[in-house]
Structure 1
Amino acid sequence: MNKFNKTFKYIIYFLLVFMPFREVIGIYDNVYLKFIPDILIIFMFFGYLFKNKFKLKFKVYDYFYILFLLGGFLSGIINNVSFIAILLHMRTYVTMYFLFYILRNNEYEIQFYKNCLKILMIALSVLTIIGIGEYITSKIYFFPYQWFIGIKYTSNLSRMYTLLHSPNTFGYYAVLVVSLFTYLYKDFKNKKWIFLLVLIFLGIILTQSRSSQVALVLILFYWSFGLFKKHDYKTLINIFLILLLTFGTYKLCNYANRAFSNSDAYKSFFEENTDRFDDNENVIIDSGSRWNIAENNDVFYSMKNGRLFNINLGFKIWKTKPLFGTGFATYGTAGSSVVIPKLYKQYNLSDDFYSDNQYIAIFVETGLFGTLMFAMFILTLIYEYRKDSYRLMIIFILMLVCLFYNVLELAVLMTLFYLILTMNNKNEKTGKGVKLKMKKNDTNERKYIVFCQEHYNPLGIIRSLGECGIKPIVIIKKGKYQLASKSKYIGKLHIVDTIDDGYEVLMKEYGKEKLKPFIYTSDDTITSYLDLKYDELKDKFIFYNAGKKGEVTKYMNKENIIKLAEKCGLNTIKTWKLTSKKIPDDMEYPCLTKAIISTKDNWKADSIVCNNEKELKSALNKIDSKEILVQKYIKKKNEFAVNGFSINKGKDVFYAFSLNYLSINDNAFGNYMIIKNFDNKELEKKLNKIFECIKFEGICEVEFLVDKNDELYFLEVNLRNSTWGYSSTVAGMNLPILWSEAMLSHKLPKDKLKKFKPFKAMAEDTDYYDRVKTKKVSLIKWIFQALSCKCLYITNLRDMKPVYSKIDNIIKNKIKK
């Protein structure tokens, strides 16, 4: 992720924390602090334009929105409206649209939106808890007195305003948060969500905001319908439980409100302030009774000094300037509260007049032209999202709430609206599964299983899936200590003693799914194990394979894969296969011994450099393997590797990245490297032949030795996720996700192949022991090198439990010594 996107993410986090409390901050602190969000958004917008060389990407609805703003602005200028008032009116219209523009032109991982949701849930919970206190005490406590004296009717004393200073604003804010939750956690299981949703639903009821309550019902209906289609009755029961608990807690709050209204504190306070209210009655209204319009005289009050009055008067004023209107900041909007419009005196309107209806405000201020442009903006926005029922619902709810409130002027609401509208709309990955183009009889839900041993290699797979909102099932063979199994992204964990035990869990627990689960492996041993079980697995799972039993294992044999590489036109190192201790007469020195199969014997220890026949004989005596490869030893300048995946029986290959090492180890690969795009077309053709010959389907890596003349010599193919696979996720190409998409669509995701700036990566644990402990590099220099890396294979600030487990293991080992 580039610096701009990272900065923008943190600004969004700040806005989500700051905006709900902006109104109350403006009372008790410098009022200009309220402009911080606007300044930040403007700064980021022009930063985005500068980064993209001021190349604008307009959509059809953008032009209508610009014409709408231009019409209102020019109309205000023509009608001699205060320039400051016009700017203050347009402030939120413009800055929020800047925010929308940046969001829609950038892709963010699903974890970003989950982080946003967590922040929103915390802020909303704080607002609701304070609001409950405000509701129970009829605003005597937990509510700024400056706001209290602005309330005209006693009926509003029992409506929960919260620190957002409006029941409707809070209600719609809460509804948007709930809608975001239903999208990200369609089938939630954590009990904490039940408590939080009860609190939020209670808050919406206590606002007595009828438009917000209708919107909540629509969201619940949409959510429940989706769950019913998936037969997720457990979550439906949870929703029913939430509604029951909400109703119960509402009754308790209502009882407490009535009890407090009989207290001396309430009576004393009301007597002191009774002259402030227009209706002059000591009324406490039950939240549900606001729906009884006739009983509450709502129509009477609305015609006298409410929305119906505003609408009637609005049409009257509009007739005086029907084409372009009276101009922005002239009819009960944000700017008119700062600089009082001249027409207020003409029509006997109070200085704090508020139109309370977005449509009539637009109609009066911008006339037929502006209203038509705004209508076209909404219609083209609907057309843009015509195939997305969720976002259409969000737009419809916005249109509904605009009937009762000037929503477009409220930054706290429009921030959420645009955040939801643009949420991963290019490449969505939600819940358990990934949104893919599948067959009509398929669904978007599959299980994702990582079958592995404790190592940072599978940790990369788990994190790659987790960062896309997928919490994988992990079957892991117990190691000396926990590393990958400590990741927070794991949905369900099975720790087993042996691979056989793991296989038993795999078949028993997940072998009868309607949709084949994906299996990801990260080491040769388990990959080979599953390959040899191909006939048992092929109809139950999607896993790394070569079309028949034992074929993957066959090409784990270095003798076989080297012969195939030669056949496909790659340079290979001269090799001898020894089945006894006898040394061939044509042996060349120096040479290097190697295990033929990495899944057998002590394959790493079998790698020995021999400078002469005596050293070779000594090495052969130490090696227990019955068969051994001996290769001519070439002094390497570096190593080179290519990572990607293949599908369609190896006919189509996706190459995500290549790498070279920044630290060289004569006897093994390095752990400090540079990640870059792979762009060698000639080599790509030869590699394609290898995968097509093997008929391999899965994530893979090809390794080469680089000699002093920069000549590439083939070393091996890893027919499973490589140790460095997580680099691809950091580069913006999530191999586990892309492979699973491609396996179902049978097409390579060519549009996902990204050009990226080369970056550094490090396996920090191993590299520390290889270079710092051996004094190849100083600790200080190594720390700076680690800090310069964009990708670390163990340390991840978003997933620190594996790191803590590693540190704990180091400490325990030190104590034992």
Structure 2
Amino acid sequence: MSRFTKYALIFLLIYFPVRPCLVEILPITRFIGDIVVLVLFAKTLVQQTASIFANYRFTLYFFLFIIVGAVSALLTGVIPVAILMQIRAFLIPFLLLYVVGEAAISKKDIQHALWTSFIMGCVLSIHGLIEKLSHRTILIPETWQHWELAAVNSERIYGLVANPNVLAVYLMIVFFLTFYLKKIAASYSILLNIGLVLFAGTILLTYSRGTLIAFGVALLVLCLMKKNWSYLIKTALFFSISIALVYWPVDSFTEKIGMNNSERFVDMFSEKRIQQSASGGRVFVVKKGVEIFIDHPVAGTGFGTYGSAATVSFTSPIYERYGIPASMYADNQYMQILVETGVIGTVLMFLFIYQLARKTVHSYVFFILLVGLIGSAFYSMLEDKTFTLYFYLAIGLALNQRQIIDE
């Protein structure tokens, strides 16, 4: 891997986890990550044109999916800037698949990426704990301090990514990457173990139930398939320790122990929670999504029409007709794809995922793919820059046909 490619990828591992905070402070940095990815892709395309067209034909399904969403959006009357915003969210991280898939990777490159992820995980975790202990008054942009959060969300850690669910997903990825880092950096086991406890405790303080379900089920399935329970046992151990050393001490210090916070894990299927969801949450998203899909089953209503970042920034042309609040965010990737691209787009995305699964046989790819499939029922995973960053890096590494250089 060339120095430029290596340091550009390291930069992305640092940039995307702190991007929301960085953009809030310095708006000029909004598109830096996009520019870096596009330059890396252009460089790869010029150097490996024949290989890309020969080895990545299956990615055509993804581009056809993008085309269906864009054309449908134009027919629905979505403004071009909103369409481009959603295409950008889907496409930019995806291009890293080609970059890593065609790079000459060394073991040292992988080790540097893992250490970068570990350090950034520690930074975001420590910042998150400071945010929690200070009641969102220290090391938080002033505009964020004045957010009007619902009572149920006011005690969650939002972090530098400005979203508790995104933070939890990111720290979960770093948590499992640290297990591998321990194998190749055994002399730092004590430091890495401390990091694992820190990550686990911070994850619990985000109260991100969907993240725990997605990673927990994916890990359980992987352990059942491999008939190896070591990772599940280690994960349970570190999370148990983190409850005693991180979760309860921090929670007690902020005087928010007991049902005020912990009930988020024990009442997720309570009657009250279901009623709240039906009126303005996940059940509402599904009900409205099905209603819209029935009216537009073939190619959907197009990008920027249902519960995406684009609809939050720009008004969706279908919201008034279906009685949907402008601030609604789908938090359900399946429903968003079904509504916006219909049967055609959904089938194309299925074919893309199916081909990915066929071409990559590594356990880590199966794990993160399963996390994405499960997590998509709770979040818009394809719009989560930190998840898609690691997802496409992992896919690219698995598709890389070059032998990893031992240096």
Alignment of 1:215-614 (within 5 A): 215-218=214-217, 221=220, 242-249=238-245, 250-258=247-255, 285-287=260-262, 289-295=264-270, 297-385=272-360, 387-423=361-397, 425-426=400-401, 467=407
SS in 2 for 1:356: coil
SS in 2 for 1:285: helix
Q: Does the 8 Å contact 1:331/1:364 carry over to 2?
A: yes
Cα distance, 1:226 vs structure 2: 10
Please name the residue that 2:191 is paired with: 192
1:50 aligned to which of 46, 52, 69: 46
Structure 1: which amino acid aligns with 2:239?
L
- The percentage of aligned residue pairs carrying the same residue is 26
Q: Please tell me the root mean square deviation across aligned C-alpha atoms, in Å.
A: 2.9
Greater CA radius of gyration, 1 or 2? Answer: 1
Structure 2: which amino acid aligns with 1:89?
Q
Cα distance, 1:165 vs structure 2: 1.0
Structure 2: which amino acid aligns with 1:213?
L
Cα distance, 1:367 vs structure 2: 0.9
Q: Does 1:203 align with 2:221?
A: no
Indicate how the Cα distance of structure 1 residues 321 and 227 shifts in structure 2: closer, same or farther if over 3 A, else same. closer
Deviations 1:506-538 (A, max 9, x none): xxxxxxxxxxxxxxxxxxxxxxxxxxxxxxxxx
SS in 2 for 1:319: helix
Cα distance, 1:28 vs structure 2: 1.6
1:103 aligned to which of 96, 100, 103: 100
Alignment of 1:20-59 (within 5 A): 20-30=17-27, 32-52=28-48, 56-59=53-56
Please name the residue that 1:167 is paired with: 164
Scaled by the length of structure 2, the TM-score of the pair is 0.89
Gaps of 5+ in 2: none
Q: Does the 8 Å contact 2:25/2:141 carry over to 1?
A: no
Which runs of 4 or more aligned residues in structure 1 lie more than 4 Å from their structure 2 counterparts after TM superposition? 148-152, 186-189, 218-230, 235-241
Q: Does the 8 Å contact 2:99/2:396 carry over to 1?
A: no
In 2: Cα distance, 1:237 partner to 1:82 partner:
50
Scaled by the length of structure 1, the TM-score of the pair is 0.46
Gaps of 5+ in 1: 262-282, 430-463, 468-817
Indicate how the Cα distance of structure 1 residues 237 and 322 shifts in structure 2: closer, same or farther if over 3 A, else same. closer
In 1: Cα distance, 2:364 partner to 2:358 partner:
13
In 1: Cα distance, 2:217 partner to 2:107 partner:
24
Please name the residue that 2:73 is paired with: 76
Deviations 1:151-207 (A, max 9, x none): 542011121111111111111111222232334434856211110000011111111
In 2: Cα distance, 1:140 partner to 1:239 partner:
32
In 2: Cα distance, 1:171 partner to 1:163 partner:
12
In 2: Cα distance, 1:290 partner to 1:147 partner:
26
Structure 1: which amino acid aligns with 2:54?
K
Indicate how the Cα distance of structure 1 residues 52 and 427 shifts in structure 2: closer, same or farther if over 3 A, else same. closer
Cα distance, 1:220 vs structure 2: 5.7
Cα distance, 1:74 vs structure 2: 0.9
Q: Does the 8 Å contact 2:44/2:98 carry over to 1?
A: no
In 1: Cα distance, 2:236 partner to 2:259 partner:
29
In 2: Cα distance, 1:320 partner to 1:225 partner:
41
Indicate how the Cα distance of structure 1 residues 118 and 310 shifts in structure 2: closer, same or farther if over 3 A, else same. same
Cα distance, 1:41 vs structure 2: 1.1
Please name the residue that 1:448 is paired with: none
Q: Does 1:17 align with 2:14?
A: yes
Please name the residue that 1:697 is paired with: none
In 2: Cα distance, 1:407 partner to 1:194 partner:
28
Report the count of equivalent residues. 402
In 2: Cα distance, 1:236 partner to 1:75 partner:
44
Whichever structure has more helix as a proportion of its residues is: 2
Q: Which has the higher contact order (CA 8 A, sep 6+)?
A: 2
Deviations 1:264-300 (A, max 9, x none): xxxxxxxxxxxxxxxxxxx972335433225582211
Whichever structure has more strand as a proportion of its residues is: 1
Q: Does 1:128 align with 2:102?
A: no
Cα distance, 1:422 vs structure 2: 2.7
